[in-house]
C-alpha cells in the first residue's frame, strides 16, 4: 500500500461492498499489505474477478491508483 493508506481499511471496504475476504498483512506488514488467497481451483476468470474487486475497493477506499491496472492484467490473461 502507498505510504499513508491503510490496507486493513481497504480490506474492510472490499468485504463490506463485494463480500470478498482478503488476508491481512502479518507481523511488521500489518496494515501495510493485504493478501489474495484461494481455496481449491483458481483460473484466469477467477483471478480477473478478484483483481476487479481489489481495484474497485482501492478506489472506494480513496487509494490513488493507476486505473489501467485491471485492463493491463486482462490483456496479459487474454494473450497467454
pLDDT 10s digits, 1-53: 999 999 999 999 999 999 999 999 999 999 999 999 888 899 999 999 999 99
CA 57 to the chain's CA centroid: 7
DSSP 39: S
Q: Assign 10 to helix, strand or coil.
A: helix
**pLDDT at residue number 80:** 81
pLDDT at residue number 40: 87
pLDDT band at 76 (very low <50, low <70, confident <90, very high): very high
- Give the C-alpha separation, 46 to 57, whole Å: 17
Q: Is the pLDDT of residue 62 over 90?
A: yes
CA distance 70 to 72: 5
Phi, psi of 34 (to 5 degrees): -130, 160
Amino acid at each position: 500500500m502507498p505510504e499513508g493508506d491503510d490496507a486493513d481499511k481497504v480490506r474492510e471496504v472490499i468485504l463490506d461492498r463485494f463480500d470478498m475476504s482478503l488476508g491481512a498483512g502479518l507481523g511488521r506488514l500489518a496494515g501495510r499489505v493485504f493478501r489474495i488467497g484461494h481455496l481449491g481451483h483458481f483460473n484466469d476468470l477467477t483471478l480477473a474477478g478478484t483483481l476487479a474487486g481489489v481495484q474497485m475497493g482501492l478506489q472506494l477506499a480513496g487509494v490513488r491508483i493507476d486505473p489501467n491496472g485491471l485492463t493491463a492484467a486482462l490483456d496479459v490473461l487474454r494473450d497467454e
